[in-house]
Structure 1
Amino acid sequence: MPKASARSLPSLSLRIDLDAEGRIGPGKIQLLENIHACGSISAAGRAMDMSYKRAWDLVDEINHLCRHAAVERQTGGRNGGGAILTPFGMSLVARYRKIERDAASAVRKELAALQTDIARTRKT
């Protein structure tokens, strides 16, 4: 979800606890989307100002948390390897984004009311 600007409504940030130790949220989903777009873990990490090691650690964490590979590395070729999202990884991103849209829709009126309350208290 986009970050709220000074004039926009407060926004919802969604994190889903997958188990007691791990969760998936907007940062990991954005990393997966960047891997899909860039075809590379390192390029996806760079797009997020993240080191390759940090990006790879997050991919490894996602794969372990979900007990399915969301990302597969590809080897070889003249230009080296890359990475792709698996069908599970594509489904994970799509499902997360759907949950995020549905949740934002469900709380839209309450966020607007909160924004009104905040604006009202700033004027007094």
Structure 2
Amino acid sequence: MPSPASLKIKIQIMCGSEIAMGPGKADLLDAIRETGSISAAGRALGMSYRRTWLLVDAMNRCWRERLVVAVPGGGRDKGAHVTTAGEAVLAAYRAIQAAAAGAAQPGAEQSLLPLLRDEPLSPDP
């Protein structure tokens, strides 16, 4: 059953043509912080191992400092952690998300709903 129409605000911070930060990457940083592991964070979010590592790589390439550091092996500091820079980027991104959500006036989407179809038309052949 289709969900009712709603307003969705999606914030993406671009680095050239690459998405440096977006909602999925922010959620991944949260999950890495919680699990201490890139692969465990991906599993928790239902992402493939490869997709998870590609997202971490993209974040680390886009920002001046790495957002995630992984330490392989079996030592005490093994696993992954969100760096100080990663924490700062994540906090700033979450603040932008909150500001954008707050900027949308309650009920603003009501003027759009009468103009919106219940389902999209099929694409032209």
Say whether the fold is shared (TM-score over 0.5).
Answer: yes
- Relative to structure 1, the CA distance from residue 80 to residue 52 in structure 2 (aligned partners, 3 Å threshold; closer, same or farther) is farther
Query: How far, CA to CA, are the matches of 2:32 and 2:62 in structure 1?
Result: 18
Structure having the higher helix fraction is 1
Q: Deviations over 1:78-108 (max 9, x none)?
A: 6993100000001111000001101111123
Q: Which of residues 35, 38, 55 is equivalent to 1:41? A: 38
CA-atom RMSD in angstroms: 2.4
CA–CA distance in 2 between the matches of 1:99 and 1:81? 32
Matched residue type, 2:109:
L
**Structure 2 stretches lacking a partner, 5+ long:** 118-125
Deviations 1:37-94 (A, max 9, x none): 1110011000111122211111011000012110011233369931000000011110
Match of 1:72 in 2: 69
Equivalent-residue separation in structure 2 for 1:73 and 1:59 (angstroms): 10
**Identical residues among aligned pairs (%):** 39
- Alignment counterpart, residue 21 of structure 1, candidates 17, 35, 44: 17
The number of residue pairs the alignment matches comes to 114
For 1:121 and 1:73, the matched residues in 2 are separated by: 46
1:121/1:80 CA distance change after superposition, 3 Å = closer
Is contact 1:41–1:83 with CA below 8 Å preserved after alignment?
Answer: yes
Give the match for residue 123 of structure 2: none
Instruction: Tell whether the 8 Å contact from 1:10 to 1:115 is kept in structure 2 after alignment.
Output: no
Structure 1 residue ranges without an equivalent (≥5)? none
Structure 2 Cα separation of the partners of residues 51 and 41 of structure 1: 11
Instruction: Tell me how far apart the structure 2 counterparts of residues 113 and 57 of structure 1 sit (CA, whole Å).
Output: 37
